[in-house]
Structure 1
Amino acid sequence: MREFIVEADGGSRGNPGPAGYGAVVRDAATGRTLTEAAEYLGTATNNVAEYRGLLAGLRAAHALDPGARVRVRMDSKLVVEQMSGRWKIKHPDMKPLAMEARSVFPPDQVTYEWIPREQNKQADRLANEAMDAGAKGGQWSPSLSRADLATNAGARTAEATSAGAPTAEPPPAATGAGADRTAEAATAGEPQSSAVAGRGAAEVASESAAASRTAEPAPAEPMAGGPAAESTSAGAPTAEPPPAAAGAGADRTAGTASAGEPPSSAGESPSSAAGAAAAVSRAAEAASGSGQRPAAAGGQRPVAGGQAHPSTPGWSAAPDLGAPATLVLLRHGETPLTPQKRFSGSGGTDPALSAAGREQAHRVADALARRGTIQAIVASPLARTRETAGIVAARLNLDVTIEGGLRETDFGAWEGLTFGEVRERHPDDLNAWLADPEARPTGGGESFAETAVRLAATRDKLVAAYQGRTVLLVTHVTPIKTLIRLALGAPPESLFRMELSAASLSAVAYYADGNASVRLFNDTSHLRP
């Protein structure tokens, strides 16, 4: 059986601040570098950046040989201990990433080992290269990477020194992805370690494309960089962020403390129901017309082309950002199951609209047509959303694009049941589901944490594709609530504190620097006679 060594690192200049990761896959027998991967993540915390590096390294190894054994070597004591199962993963931003990492290979094929920072220089250099590229407004390029060469050169210098050869003055210390990590694990509530880093989000959430380089003669293919995590963004600082550090991991001592409590934030929505389409239009105009926008409370996700910029809490003028991508979120019209309040996800009977649901779809189509702001329509593949989208598209003379990432959560054995029926038949599973976003419905459905990872990746893809435009997403209760939650940086339990009506409209504007602004939520004024 083939054996690989995966070395990974990640860091944040500011924590949260501009972040990136690096990962290396080596042949265990020869030590030869087989693949490199790195990605600029935008604004994030240290911890999730390292988890993103781990995920990228495992996926790169899996692409080479899914049957191989893998030895993961990292200078993050926190990640190594958590992935080894010896420390509990407490932070909601890291749980989905750890779950994704565990799913790449069967558990018996992967082992984890802590190493000193000095033995993780290539991954450290890759993480810094990614952040340097992001600081210039770009993304890491495999063709320009010098991490492998620099690391090998350093090794040769060390050999020459041991043999009596003169060496140059060493470079200044503490500018790499692993500098000054000694206090971070303690602030995270874990045993103190010498190596911690990451990126705050399960914006675990966003699945951005990570560039990669392979040592084989054929050109390298890009590899996925892991879920966005910022999928469950809870990593925004509660105070003004510190100045950016010189290197990837410099000054990490307060990182997890600021990420330990979910931010308290609120989006904006019209206070009166003056018409759904008018509210959506005002959202788009407010997003693009004034040059000012509120910064996102929940940290930052990668944006189009991998470019991202630091998020600053509060209001700031940014006339150079251009118009945002405005996602108008339409829940489908009623089905026969809707008035009965039955679980209806992606794993059930896939009901069509009822007569009332079709009437609702026509009403929202008329309202949107009066304003004329929708430029594209994207829908979930389920029957009720495709039918709703088709009615709106016919009225607006637009085509419908189907996006599988917008589907509803799979509720497993609960599909078609009422809440009371589930409580009667599966009380323990229901209580676990209500208390833990990683808990799945009975019968192996989809957890809210898994839904968040999927929605963050879908959001990032759509924001990149529709930058500067207003697009209607016809989807379901859980996807819309999740997108709102991520935009606000709210904790997972906020999903149970939102009411979302059939055929309601919500809207979120996403700016080029990664900030998001909730402009509308659960507006049903267009359904009133």
Structure 2
Amino acid sequence: MREFIVEADGGSRGNPGPAGYGAVVRDAVTGETLTEAAEYLGTATNNVAEYRGLLAGLRAAHALDPTARVRVRMDSKLVVEQMSGRWKIKHPDMKPLAMEARSVFPPDQVTYEWIPRERNKQADRLANEAMDAGAKGEQWSPTHSRADLAAPAESTPIESMPTGPVPTEPTPAAADAGGDRATGAAPAGQAQGSATVGQAQGPATADQAQGPASAGQAQPSAGQAQLSAPGWSAAPDLGAPATLVLLRHGETPLTPQKRFSGSGGTDPALSAAGREQAHRVADALARRGTIQAVVSSPLARTRETAGIVAARLDLDVAIEDGLRETDFGAWEGLTFGEVRERYPDDLNAWLADPEAHPTGGGESFAEAAVRLAATRDKLVAAYQGRTVLLVTHVTPIKTLIRLALGAPPESLFRMELSAASLSAVAYYADGNASVRLFNDTSHLRP
């Protein structure tokens, strides 16, 4: 069986501060360097950067030979002891990273060894190169020839890497335009579901498809609707964004019947199919290892979905009332056809005007948009630089996507949003937003 040595390091100039990692894969017999990897991460902590370096090294080794044995050597005592199972991982931001690292190879193929920093100079050099590139607004790229790789260059140690307790700063959500941080979803090498945009849904029907929010209502804050040039939204000087991963709850008994199911009275639990969907998305998010917090709408179907996912990720669930579904008034529990038969004038007005209310004083889409814009701003401020899962409903997700794109209200009629689907939006410090994912259901396929 082939054997590799993985050496990895990470650093942060500030802790948290501008951070990067470096990783090297060597042939254990010849000592030849087979692969080098490095990346600028934006704002992160030392331990986050070290774990990212470990992940990059393991993935590079796996790409070379998934059957190989791997000896990981790092100068981070924390990472080595945690990954060896001798120290418990208590910090919630470290758990998903460790979980992802353990999933790259079967556990019996990987061993961990602590080495002094002076024996980890090549990975150290790469991490510094990545941070230097990031300071210039660039991404790291290899600068050495194949011949150079066999003899690691001397480099200045990462003097800015203080040691100490596990930091409070979380994993960077999206520091650049590529990789798992960019999407807030699947890491490099894992398939993404395709966005299903542009499928006309016709009128909003029940829990399945909702209508638009008002034009001119709840528009993004200053700069929010400005669309950046490709890659520009990931400029390092903006820091890591707040990435909101948007999960629609699993199916309820009303979902396949396409009945109105809002927050105005009908609050069904998940069906058996919906619980299975929640477990599938939980497994997928655990593999991706990017979620650092879970926030749910207060309704039963979202709380149940969030509970299943959070238990799998070993996280708690916070409740945010602003993520609740629209109140459909007297239409709750009815099909679209039943509403058209009983309340034709109210329905026609509601379809034509986002300011119109459902029969019985429900919430208009314009009002919902105002609520959701305020909720978005609150969550972005609370989770800047982090990746948070929001378990919510059709109207909130479509509205957040619309506001992020600066799209007109009628765009919501052209969005498909499936039960237990994932979408993601990254929000940067300058007010810009970047839609990273929409209606991903790849995790639901057998």
TM-score, length basis structure 2: 0.52
Partner residue in 2 for 1:304: 231
2:215 corresponds to 1:278? yes
Q: What are the within-5 Å matches in structure 2 for residues 89-488 of structure 1?
A: 89-142=89-142, 144-145=143-144, 149=148, 152=151, 176-177=157-158, 179=159, 181=161, 184-186=163-165, 188=167, 200-201=170-171, 203=173, 209=178, 227=181, 276-279=213-216, 282-283=219-220, 286-287=223-224, 304=231, 307-311=234-238, 335=255, 336=257, 338=261, 339-343=266-270, 434=307, 439-440=311-312, 485=379, 488=382
RMSD of aligned alpha carbons: 5.2
1:379-420 deviation per Cα after TM superposition (whole angstroms, max 9, x unaligned): xxx9xxxxxxxxxxxxxxxxxxxxxx9xxx9xxxxxxxx779
Q: How many residues were matched structurally? A: 295
Secondary structure of 2:23's counterpart equals strand
2:361 corresponds to 1:489? no
Secondary structure of 1:140's counterpart equals coil
Secondary structure of 1:278's counterpart equals coil
Partner residue in 2 for 1:402: none
Partner residue in 2 for 1:71: 71
Partner residue in 1 for 2:51: 51
**Matched residues in 2 for 1:83 and 1:26: separation?**
20
Deviation of 1:30 after TM superposition, in Å, equals 0.6
For the 8 Å contact 1:308–1:513, the answer to whether it is kept is no
Task: Summarize the Cα distance change of 1:421–1:100 in structure 2 as closer, same or farther, 3 Å threshold.
Answer: closer
Q: Structure 2 counterpart of 1:78, which letter?
A: L
Secondary structure of 2:25's counterpart equals strand
**Matched residues in 2 for 1:328 and 1:284: separation?**
20
Deviation of 1:206 after TM superposition, in Å, equals 7.5
Partner residue in 1 for 2:371: none
Task: Summarize the Cα distance change of 1:230–1:486 in structure 2 as closer, same or farther, 3 Å threshold.
Answer: farther
Task: Summarize the Cα distance change of 1:86–1:74 in structure 2 as closer, same or farther, 3 Å threshold.
Answer: same
Deviation of 1:47 after TM superposition, in Å, equals 1.2
1:303-351 deviation per Cα after TM superposition (whole angstroms, max 9, x unaligned): 92795324589xxxxxxxxxx9x9998979983484342226986698x
1:93-125 deviation per Cα after TM superposition (whole angstroms, max 9, x unaligned): 221111111100011111111100111111111
**Matched residues in 2 for 1:483 and 1:56: separation?**
33
**Matched residues in 1 for 2:115 and 2:73: separation?**
6
Deviation of 1:287 after TM superposition, in Å, equals 2.7
Task: Summarize the Cα distance change of 1:207–1:487 in structure 2 as closer, same or farther, 3 Å threshold.
Answer: farther
Task: Summarize the Cα distance change of 1:421–1:484 in structure 2 as closer, same or farther, 3 Å threshold.
Answer: closer
Q: Structure 1 counterpart of 2:224, which letter?
A: A
Partner residue in 2 for 1:237: none
Secondary structure of 2:125's counterpart equals helix
**Matched residues in 1 for 2:225 and 2:245: separation?**
15
For the 8 Å contact 1:202–1:230, the answer to whether it is kept is no
Task: Summarize the Cα distance change of 1:101–1:207 in structure 2 as closer, same or farther, 3 Å threshold.
Answer: farther
Secondary structure of 2:236's counterpart equals coil
For the 8 Å contact 2:233–2:432, the answer to whether it is kept is no
Identity %: 54
For the 8 Å contact 1:6–1:70, the answer to whether it is kept is yes
Q: Structure 2 counterpart of 1:488, which letter?
A: A
Structure 2 unaligned segments of length 5 or more: list them.
186-211, 282-286, 292-299, 317-374, 406-424, 434-446
For the 8 Å contact 1:26–1:32, the answer to whether it is kept is yes
**Matched residues in 1 for 2:392 and 2:29: separation?**
56
2:6 corresponds to 1:3? no
Partner residue in 2 for 1:467: none
Partner residue in 2 for 1:503: 395
Partner residue in 2 for 1:84: 84
Task: Summarize the Cα distance change of 1:139–1:307 in structure 2 as closer, same or farther, 3 Å threshold.
Answer: farther
For the 8 Å contact 1:12–1:18, the answer to whether it is kept is yes
Q: Structure 2 counterpart of 1:91, which letter?
A: H
